[in-house]
Amino acid sequence: MSSETEIPMKTSIQRTDNAIGQLNGMSPIDIKALLAAVNKAIVAELHVDLQKPSRSPVADDTKEKAKNSKDTENISRKLKKNKWRAAQKCISICIFLVEMGVVMAQVIIFARFRSGRAEYLEGNELAFKHLFLEDWSASYETMPYPPAEGDYAVYTKQGFYDHLNYIISQYYELPAVTIGTFRWDTKNLSQSQPPLINLCEKHFKTVMIFENDTHIVDSHILTECFDIKVTKEPNGTIIPDIKGFLDSVNHTILFSRLISVEMSMLFKCYHIDTSYENHNPDCFNTAVNVWFDNGQRDGQMKVGLHIKRSDYPCKETPKKNHSVIFDAFVIFIVIVSLCAHICFEYTVGIKEPDMWLDDKTTWTERLVWNIIMLVGDGCVLAGSAIKIGLDTRRIVPVPANNYDVCSICIGIGFLLVWIGFIRYLKYLTFGPKTNNMTTILVKTLKDATPDALRFLFSSSSLFVGFILCGWVVLSPYNIKFRSVSSSAECLFSLMDGDELYVTLQATEADDCPAIWYFSRGFLYLFSLLFVCLVLNLFTAIFLHAYERLKSTGTDDAHNDGHTSVGKSGADAKNDGNSSEGNNGDDTADNETTPLIPK
C-alpha cells in the first residue's frame, strides 16, 4: 500500500479509538451499530482516496521544468524580437543618413551651378545695357535701395529719337564692337544679314487737347508694330533714321497719347562653365527688349532693358554627363529610403506603436513626422527628375523658370529632410542630458505653438493697421511706403530698431509740417509697441513653455526608448522583492516576466 493510502487509514483508526473511549455506558446494540457505521465510513473514505490519481514527485518536477522552459523560451523569443526591432531602427537611420548625404551633395553641386549661371546671366544683361542704352554708367548697377542716382530716363522728344537711332546703330555694328559670345539669331537668314528690329507702340486711341484746356480722351489702348528697315550707303554703312522710317510707313508718334514703345532684338548666346571639366555648354535664345515708359505722363520717360531667355540644345561633341548619373543615383537612394520607411513604419510600426519613438508619442505626432518625410522625399524626387530633364535637354524649349522650379523643389526637399533628421537625433546621442537637449526644441515648439498662433493672430491685426495707415499717409513722402508690400517690409525691418533713423530721414515732408510730426509719432509708436512689447511677449511664450517642460519633467531620460529594457529590469527587481513570501511559482513569474519590453 502506498504512503498516500496509509495516511487516511491512520486517520480513520485514530478517530475510531477516540470514539471507543467514549463508549462507556452504551448498550451492546448501540456499540455494534456505531462500529458498523464507523467501518462503513472508513471503507467509503478509502474508496474515494483510491479513486484519486497518485501524485509523483518526479511528475511534479517535470511539470515545473516544462513551465520554466516555456517561460524561458517566451523570454528568449521576445528578446530576439526586441533585437530585430533595434536592428530595423538602426537600418532605417543608416539609410536616412545616406539619403541626407547624397541630397546634400546634390544641393551643393546644383547651387554652385546656379551661382555660376546667375553670374553669367547678370553679366550678359549688363553687357546689353552698355551696348544699347546710350550714356549708361556703372552707377545704375547698384542695389535698388538706396539708389545711387536717379532713374535712367529721357526728357525730350529729340532725346527719345536719338536713343532709338543709337539702338539701331549698335545692333547692326554688334559683331564689330562686342567682345561677348552672342550673335544675331539669323535662323534661315545668312550670317551677314541680321533679322530686322521689331518696334511696337502702345497708345490711346484718341487724345485731343484744345486751346481752352479741354480734353477728349478715348482710353482704349491700341498696339502697332513695325519691322524697322534701314538704308545703307554704297559702302555698306548703316544710316539709322527712325523718323524717316516712320514717315515711310505713314506713322507718327504722338507723345500726347503715347503710353510706351518697345524695341525687340533676337540673339543667340552660349556659356561654358570652366569650373567643371566635362560640363557641356549652355546655349540660349535671347530676346532683348528695350522699353520706353510714358505711362505717367509726368515729363519723364523711363528707359529700361529686359531680357527673356530659353535654353536650346547645342550642337557640341557629346560628353558623358556625370551630373545625370549622380541625379539618377539620388533618385535611387531616395526611393530606397522611402520604401524602407514605409515598410518599417506601416508594416511593423502599426503592430508595435512604440517601435520608433517613446511611449508618449501620439498618433498625430507620428503622422506629422511621416508627412514631413513623404513631402520632403517627393520634392527631392521631383526636383531630381526635372534636373535630369534640364541636363539632357529633353525639356525643349527650356524656359529659365524651369531652373527656378527645379531649385525650389530641391531646396524644399532638402529643408524637410533636415527637419526630419530631428526625429532621429536622440538615437545618435549619448547620455540622458544630451538626449534631452536634442528633443527640447521639438517639445517646446509643440507646447508653445497654440499660444504663439493665437498671439500672432491678435497682433497681426495691429500690424496690418500700421501697414495701411503708413501706406495711405506716408507714401507720397517716403520711398519705403510707396506700396503695400514695401510698407510691410519697412515696418517688419523696423522691429530690429536699426532702420528707424534712416526711415525718419527718408521722409521728405519739409513743405508739410503735419506729415513731418505724424511720421515721427507713427514710427515711435510702432517701435515702442512692437520692439519693446510684442516681440518680448512673443519670446516669453516660448520661454514659458520651456520652463513648464522643465518643471513638469517631461524631458526625463526614462521616457526615452533607449532605457525601456533597463527600466523593465528595475521594475522586475522591485516586483520580485515585493513578492517575497509567495510560493515559488509566483516568485519566478514576477522575476522573469517584467524583463520583456512592452
Each residue's pLDDT tens digit, 403-427: 888 999 999 999 999 888 887 776 6
Do the domain assignments include residue 306? yes
pLDDT of residue 593: 37
Distance set, CA 270 to CA 183, 285, 286, 316, 459 (Å): 10, 9, 10, 11, 51
Roughly what angle, to the nearest 10 degrees, separates helices 432-474 and 484-494?
A: 130
What's the rounded Cα separation, in Å, for the pair 478 and 481?
A: 6
Looking at the structure, tell me whether residues 305 and 187 fall in a common domain: yes
**Beta carbons of 374 and 340 less than 8 angstroms apart:** no
What's the rounded Cα separation, in Å, for the pair 494 and 492?
A: 5
Do the domain assignments include residue 445? yes
pLDDT of residue 469: 94
Do the domain assignments include residue 146? no
pTM tops 0.75, yes or no? no
Amino acid (one-letter) located at 471: W
Instruction: Return phi, psi of residue 285, to 5°.
Output: -90, 120
Looking at the structure, tell me whether residues 500 and 580 fall in a common domain: no
What's the rounded Cα separation, in Å, for the pair 297 and 259?
A: 8
Do the domain assignments include residue 78? no
Write out the three cell numbers for 514: 503735419
pLDDT of residue 360: 56
Write out the three cell numbers for 54: 497518485
Q: Which of 316, 351, 379 is the last residue of a domain?
A: 316
Looking at the structure, tell me whether residues 453 and 549 fall in a common domain: yes
25: alpha, beta or left, given left = phi > 0 and alpha = psi -120 to 50? left
* 3-class secondary structure, 266: strand
**Beta carbons of 311 and 282 less than 8 angstroms apart:** yes
* 3-class secondary structure, 189: coil
**Beta carbons of 319 and 278 less than 8 angstroms apart:** yes
Looking at the structure, tell me whether residues 565 and 534 fall in a common domain: no
Do the domain assignments include residue 38? yes
What's the rounded Cα separation, in Å, for the pair 218 and 95?
A: 68
pLDDT of residue 62: 67
Looking at the structure, tell me whether residues 468 and 574 fall in a common domain: no
pLDDT of residue 120: 86
Q: Which of 316, 347, 370 is the last residue of a domain?
A: 316
Looking at the structure, tell me whether residues 580 and 532 fall in a common domain: no
Tracing cell 529700361 back to the chain, one arrives at: 304
Looking at the structure, tell me whether residues 461 and 537 fall in a common domain: yes
Looking at the structure, tell me whether residues 472 and 584 fall in a common domain: no
Do the domain assignments include residue 265? yes
Instruction: Return phi, psi of residue 96, to 5°.
Output: -65, -40
What's the rounded Cα separation, in Å, for the pair 182 and 284?
A: 9
Domain count, the chain: 4
Looking at the structure, tell me whether residues 476 and 547 fall in a common domain: yes
pLDDT of residue 525: 93
Looking at the structure, tell me whether residues 164 and 305 fall in a common domain: yes
| Domain carrying residue 259 | 153-316
pLDDT of residue 85: 64
**Beta carbons of 302 and 151 less than 8 angstroms apart:** yes
Do the domain assignments include residue 525? yes
Looking at the structure, tell me whether residues 8 and 38 fall in a common domain: yes
Tracing cell 517561460 back to the chain, one arrives at: 71
Segments of the chain with pLDDT less than 70: 1-30, 32, 38, 42-68, 71, 77-88, 142-149, 188-192, 275-279, 316-321, 345-361, 393-400, 426-438, 553-598
Tracing cell 467514549 back to the chain, one arrives at: 22
Task: Provide CB contacts within 8 A for 179, sequence distance 6+.
Answer: none
pLDDT of residue 289: 94
Looking at the structure, tell me whether residues 167 and 290 fall in a common domain: yes
Do the domain assignments include residue 506? yes
